[in-house]
């Protein structure tokens, strides 16, 4: 797969824009038929929409500054403590610097050569802040060092390179020039990818994981559920049992909710996974299994 070596070469070339590298990574995602890589690349190219989607390497602590006036003096550009603001949600938001921009925008910010960016507080927030302290704040903002943006770009390059190197190390045949894409288990690709990009974090409440499952499992489509469970490594005999139990629960009137038989199947599978934790003979994510079943029943899994 020549694109692997091409990507590695581009990552190591500092003058190659990261946005260009990620577009090439999108081609790799297509060749590997991997939705997780594609979802991550799309987010990095187009930006993130919510805090739940945001990787940890895009989250920083905030520095707040402001200008103040009193009866006989004016003070500018001094640090602000937000601890006096009573609303915890607002206070926490002011203490966070979460970077949602796509990499093209981040690259443009870095190229502009400024040392810091300012995200100004809205007027209503300044009024709220003035209620809890003596001097009058006339302007306030989050101070964002350009180093934050540079660190994000560097993180993405390094994490993508680590993913490619580990993938190549475990599957050296992937470097071959054959037109045929080497067959690598999707479960293995997902594990290598998550370990390197997200640091191994894999949670049922993670937005991206939900999105991946929903790409495969459609509500009331039993075939899509069973095929997805096979993709993530659930043994065939367990999948066969689940199919029988879902149909049995449906006969008992549980077509839109998880019935007692399926719940017992989940419990039994959990015990088997836990008992095999040491030797990893049954190395699957129970969270993802549960998420897939919830998606099949059309239930909210957050």
Give pLDDT tens digits along the chain (302 positions).
588 989 999 999 989 999 999 999 999 998 888 888 999 999 999 999 888 888 889 988 888 899 998 777 888 988 888 888 888 888 888 888 899 999 999 999 999 987 778 889 999 999 988 887 777 999 999 988 888 899 999 999 999 999 999 998 888 877 654 445 557 777 788 888 888 898 744 333 344 456 556 667 888 899 989 988 887 788 999 999 999 999 998 887 766 678 888 988 988 888 787 776 555 667 677 777 888 888 888 875 44
In DSSP notation, 161-221 reads: HHHHHHHHHH-GGGG---SSPP---HHHHHHHHHHHHSTT---TT-HHHHHHHHHHPPTT-
Predicted pLDDT of residue 41: 95
Predicted pLDDT of residue 182: 58
**Cβ–Cβ under 8 Å, residues 96 and 59:** yes
Q: Locate the domains of the chain by residue range.
A: 57-150, 202-302
Cα–Cα distance measured from residue 79 to residue 17, given in angstroms and rounded to the nearest whole number:
35
Segment 139-190, tens digit of pLDDT: 999 988 888 899 999 999 999 999 999 998 888 877 654 445 557 777 788 8
**Cβ–Cβ under 8 Å, residues 29 and 38:** yes
Predicted pLDDT of residue 202: 38
């Amino acid at each position: 797969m020549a694109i692997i070596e091409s990507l590695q070469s581009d990552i190591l070339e500092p003058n190659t824009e990261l946005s260009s590298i990620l577009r090439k990574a999108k081609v790799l995602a297509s060749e590997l038929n991997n939705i997780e890589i594609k979802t991550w690349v799309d987010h990095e190219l187009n930006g993130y929409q919510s805090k739940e989607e945001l990787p940890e390497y895009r989250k920083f602590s905030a520095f707040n500054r402001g200008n103040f006036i009193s009866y006989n003096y004016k003070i500018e550009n001094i640090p602000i403590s937000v601890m006096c603001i009573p609303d915890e949600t607002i206070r926490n938001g002011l203490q966070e610097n979460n970077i949602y921009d796509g990499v093209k925008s981040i690259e443009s910010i870095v190229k502009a050569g400024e040392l810091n960016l300012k995200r100004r507080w809205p007027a209503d927030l300044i009024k709220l802040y003035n209620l809890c302290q003596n001097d009058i704040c006339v302007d306030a903002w989050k101070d964002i060092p350009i180093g934050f943006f540079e660190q994000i770009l560097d993180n993405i390059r390094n994490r993508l390179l680590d993913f490619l190197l580990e993938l190549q190390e475990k599957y050296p045949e992937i470097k071959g020039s054959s037109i045929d894409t080497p067959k690598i288990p999707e479960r293995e690709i997902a594990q290598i990818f998550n370990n390197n990009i997200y640091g191994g974090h894999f949670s049922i409440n993670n937005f991206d994981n939900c999105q991946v499952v929903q790409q495969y499992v459609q509500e009331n489509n039993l075939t899509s559920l069973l095929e997805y469970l096979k993709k993530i490594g659930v043994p065939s005999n367990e999948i066969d049992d689940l199919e029988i139990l879902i149909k049995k629960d449906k006969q008992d009137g549980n077509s839109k909710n998880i019935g007692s038989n399926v719940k017992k199947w989940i419990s039994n599978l959990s015990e088997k996974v836990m008992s095999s934790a040491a030797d990893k003979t049954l190395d699957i994510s129970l969270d993802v299994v549960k998420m897939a079943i919830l998606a099949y029943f059309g239930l909210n899994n957050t």
